[in-house]
Structure 1
Amino acid sequence: MSAVSSSSAALQPAAPKVLSARYMAWYRFSRNPAAVIGAFIVTSVILIAVFAPLIAPYAEHVGSVVNFRARHLPPDLEYLAGTDKVGRDILSRTIFGFRISLLLVIGVLGVSVPIGTILGLVSGYAGGMTERVITGLTNIMLALPPLVMALAIGNVLEPNLTNAMISVTLLWWTWHARLVYRVTRTVASEDYIEAARLSGASHMHILFREILPNCVAVISVKTTLDAAYVILFGASLSFLGLGVKPPTPDLGSMVADGRQYLPDMWWGVLTPGFAIFYATLGFNLLGDGLRDMFDVEA
C-alpha cells in the first residue's frame, strides 16, 4: 500500500514555484533590449568619468595647455578626434567632460529629488491649507520657463558649476513634488493607512514607512529620466556661456567653441556633440526600462 502511494505521489506534478515580484521585475528588465543597452551606456559613462585620467590619451590637455602648432588638426592616429583652436586633444577633453555632466546630475538631483519628495509627501498627506500652499508654490514655479530662469540667475551670479547647479535646482524639484503628490493622494486613501492611523502610528511613521515605499518606483524612474534632461540642460547653459569657466572641459562649451569653425573643422563639434547624445540616450533608455520593470507611469 505504501509502495502504491509513493509511486502515485511521484507521478504527481511538482507544485509550481511562486516567483517573487522582485524576480519578475528583473525578468522584465533583462528581457528588454533597450533597457539593457541603456544600463550598459550609463555604466560606461560612469566608468569613463571615474577613470578619465587613465583613459584620456592626453590628460594634461584638460588644463590651460596651448600648442598652436597642433591647432585644428583633423582626426588621425595621434589625435583620434582631432584638436581644438589651441591644439588640445578633443577626445581627452570630451572624456573629462563626462565628469562635469555627471557632477551636475548628482548635484541637481541630489538636492531637488529629496526636496520635491518631502514637499509632495507632506502636501498629499496633510491636505488643507498645507496642501494649497505647497501646490500653489509648485504651480507658480512650474509656470516659470526653466531656461529663462537659469539665464537670469547665470547673468547675476558668476558662471561656474555651482551656480549652474543652483539655477537648475531652483526649478527641478517641482516635477518631483507634483509626481509624489499624486501618488501620495492615492495611497493616503487606502485602508491600511487609516488602520495605521487608528493604531496610533505617528505622522512621520505613516509618511516615511507606509507611503514613501509606494513612491520609490516612480521616483526612481523619474530620477533616471531627469538625469538625461539635466545633462542636456547643463550643456545648453554651457553652450550659452553660463557653465563652467575655461579651461575646464565641458561638453556644451566645447560644442560652442567648435561651431565657430564649421563646416571645415567639423571634428570640433562632432565628438562632444556625440558624447551628449550618448549620455542622454543611455539615461533615457534606462529610464524606460525601469518604467517597464516597475510597471509605473512617470
Structure 2
Amino acid sequence: MHLPPLASSVFVVALGALSALPLGGAAAAQERGVLGWGRLLTNDAIGDGKDRWRTGSYVLSYLRGPDWNGSLPATPGQILEFRFRLETIAPADLVTPNPLDRRYVGALSLGLHTHFEAAGLEASVGADAVIVGPQTGISSLHGDLHDLLGLPTPNVFGGQIGDEVFLTVTAEVGRTLTLGPNSTFRPFLEAQAGAETLVRVGGDFTFGQFTTGALMLRDTSTGQRYRGVAGSGSEGLSLIMGGDIAEVYDSEYFLAGDAITPSDTRKRLRAGLHWQGAQSEVFYGLTWLSEEFDQQPDDQIVGSINLRLQF
C-alpha cells in the first residue's frame, strides 16, 4: 500500500496519538465522566427510496472525558469515543444480481477514537476492528426481515464478502473558520487505512447553532456530522452543507477476481436540517454518493436521521 506524503504525515500523527492514550494513567481515567452519546441512522429508503449499494448503516458513539467546556483538550486520550457501527452494502438486485454488480457486504465495527487540538487544528484519530462476513449475522438478519415483511428472499448472501476482521485506522484534521455571527466553514483532511484505504479532502458549512460549543463526529459512509457532545443548546433551525472527494487506494469490499473495477475516486455532497427545541432535537440530511465502481450504472442518494425526543 502506497500513500502520498500528506497522508503519510497524518498517519504518523495518528499512530503517535494512539500510542499516547495510556499515558493518562489511572488518575486520568478516574476523572472521566460520561460526556454524551451520538447516533445516526442512514438508509436509502429515506433517500432515493432504492434498496442498493450503500443501502444502510447505523452508528452509535459513547463519549467519556473530563467536563466538557466547549473546546477540545490539547492532549490525546483525555476524550475517548467508543464507537459501534453496522453497515450493509448490496447489489441493486438482491434476488437476481447482475454479475457486473458489487458483492453483498455485512460489516460490524467496534472502535476507540480520541479527539483533541493539535497546532491549532481540530484532530481525531482512532482504530476500529471491522468485522465482515456471515460471522456478523447481518445477512441472516437481513434475510429474516425480508421473510417477516413478505419480501422476496435475497439470493446474494452466498457470494458475499467472507469472514474477515480488518484493523482500520482513521485520522482527521480540520479547522473551523468563522464566516459570520452564526455561520462557519470547516475544511478537513481525512486519511484511512484498513477495510478501505483512502485520502479524503473536503469541507462543511454550518448556518445556525448546530455545532456551536459541540463535539462533532463524522459518519463514515456519508460524511454527515453528528453531535457527540451537546453544545450551546440554542433553540432554532440550522442548515448544514458539505462535500468532499476521496482518492481510493484499496478496498477489501471488492475482490481481485471479480469482473468489476473499483473507482479510483469518490465524491460526496450532503445537506441537512437540524431543529433544536427546548428539550428535543431532530436532524434529517441527504447525501449524494458518486459511483464506487466503474460498472455502477448510477449514483445514489441516501438519507440520514437522528431523533432526540423528550416529553
TM range (shorter): under 0.3
Structure of higher CA gyration radius: 1
Higher strand proportion: 2
Higher relative contact order at CA 8 Å, sep ≥6: structure 1 or structure 2? 1
Give TM-score scaled by structure 2 length: 0.24
Higher helix proportion: 1
Give TM-score scaled by structure 1 length: 0.25
